[in-house]
Amino acid sequence: MTTPSTTSSSPGTFDHGAGKIVPLSLGAMVGFMILLALNLRTSATAVGPVLNDIAESVELSAVGAGVLTSLPGLCFGALGFVAVRFAQQFGLTGGLTMGCGLILIGGLARALTGNAWLFLFCTVVALSGIAIGNVLAPAWIKTHAGTATVGLMGTYSAVVTASGALGSLTAVPLAQSLGAALEITGWRATLGFWAVAAIVPGIMGILLWVHTGRDRPRAVTPSATSVKIYRSPLAWAMTGFFAFQSMNAYVQFGWLPQIYQDAGVSPAVSGALVSIMSAVPIIGGFVMPWIISRSKNISGWIIALGLSTATGYLGLLIDPAGGAWIWAIFFGFGGWAFPTAIARLSDFVQPIGYMIAATGPVSIGALFSATGSWTTPLIVMMATIMVLLICGFFVARKTTIESQLSRLDIVTTKS
């Protein structure tokens, strides 16, 4: 089993000012993390089921829609480089609170605009808030939760995953019911609703911010070895595994509803199918860390997860509508690769991995636009599973980045 070194995986050591942490009640911590986590996927996953309506309203081409579905990866990758410095300036609690503000402002603005470029810009603003939450929330838990860290981290991860399912499941019902009640276009009601939802954790964040002050991160402790992490083959394997797992997830969230709808499935059912796909990995979030901690080699699991995703794509090629629910479950089981990848993350892996992953949805959109069919895009996605499996074999080996770097450092010193 492969795990990253502690020095390379930690985003930083976080403290309050000179080092004193202001205590928070367990109820306050759990409440804040649940409310925050509920907003870290919904604004992104609510787009897929209503993507066709959005594209028609703001005149987005297939390539433009691909760019839209690629934005989560681009934003998460870019913010991965700067989020810790952001926390150093405003504190962890302050950073998370401001992230909620960005979700609110960007989400509301894009629900109101009719211009494609402005819609994409506002989406970047909202996703930037989500990206800040993705990076800072785990550090916030490690800083404030104390002995409750493991339990709160598990709760946070489960709710984040559930929020992805919630966004897809509610997209079309909200568009129909709330859109009719407010007499506005359905997709605007959906995106506006999930933007306004960020107000609740934002207000709670302000109250906690006043209490905690600037709970800022210290500088990261330098690695024990002088060798740069990019010289580690394992680090690149981890990056590839995380990148292609995330790429498949973004393509599925962004394009799967449209693939189902083009096959004759209704928008409401297509949203429910994506929510099922999103919900199955919640189980994996609890099971895979337990398996990883007790296994010397998880190659068998990586093969099973990769083949499950490939089976989902093959099913879409053969009978997308008739076996829709079955393919969604296969995709969901394949999504267990996400907690497997998360267990091996490092600062090097995450930003680069997200950037690579972001090329997936826009490439699939371009392929569909060029061919007018989902056949070629689905075959290409099946091919990415081969890359995922190859990287996974290296990741599954019982070694660490730190041990590789130490060996390289010894060789460099001798030479």
> Two tokens at 411?
């060789």
How high does pLDDT run on average in the chain? 84
Give Cβ neighbours of residue 407 (< 8 Å, ≥ 6 apart). Answer: none
Residue 244, SS3 per DSSP = helix
d(CA 364, CA 299) in angstroms, rounded, equals: 28
In CATH, the number for domain 27-217 is 1.20.1250.20
Q: Number of C-alpha atoms within 13 angstroms, CB side, residue 127?
A: 24
- Could you read off the pLDDT of 108-167 as tens digits, one per residue? 999 999 999 999 999 999 999 999 998 899 889 988 888 888 788 878 888 888 898 899
The class of domain 228-409 in CATH terms is mainly alpha
Residues 140, 143, 146, 150, Cα dihedral to 10°: 50
Domains of the chain: which residue ranges? 27-217, 228-409
Q: What is the DSSP secondary-structure string of 147-202? A: GGHHHHHHHHHHHHHHHHHHHHHHHHHHHHHHHHHHTS-HHHHHHHHHHHTTHHHH
If residue 4 lies in a helix (H) or strand (E), which one and from where to where?
Answer: none
Classified as helix, coil or strand, 87 is: helix
Sequence-ordered list of residues with C-beta below 8 angstroms from that of 304, at least 6 positions apart, any chain: none
Cα–Cα dist 138/128, whole Å: 17
180 CB neighbour count, 10 Å cutoff: 11
pLDDT tens track for 354-412: 889 989 999 999 999 999 999 999 999 999 999 999 998 888 766 666 666 666 555 55
Q: What is the pLDDT of residue 234?
A: 81
326-339: pLDDT as tens digits? 999 999 988 887 66
CB neighbour burial string for 319-358, b if at least 16 within 10 angstroms, e if fewer? ebeeebeebbbbbbbbbbbbbbbbbbbbbbbbbbbbbbbb
Taking only the tens place, the pLDDT of each residue in 203-255 is 999 999 988 887 876 544 444 444 577 777 788 888 898 899 889 999 998 89
Of 82 and 5, more confident: 82
Q: What is the pLDDT of residues 44-54, one digit of tens each?
A: 999 989 999 99
Q: What is the pTM of this model?
A: 0.80
pLDDT tens for residues 288-315?
777 777 777 778 888 899 999 999 999 9
Q: How far apart are CA 222 and CA 214, in angstroms?
A: 23
Question: How much is the pLDDT for 226?
Answer: 44
Domains 27-217 and 228-409 share a fold: yes
More confident residue, 11 or 345: 345
Please tell me the distance from the alpha carbon of residue 378 to that of residue 329, in angstroms, as a whole number. 17
Secondary structure (DSSP) of 250-318: HHHHHHHHHHHHHTT--HHHHHHHHHHHHHHHHHHHHHHHHHHHH-S--HHHHHHHHHHHHHHHHHHHH
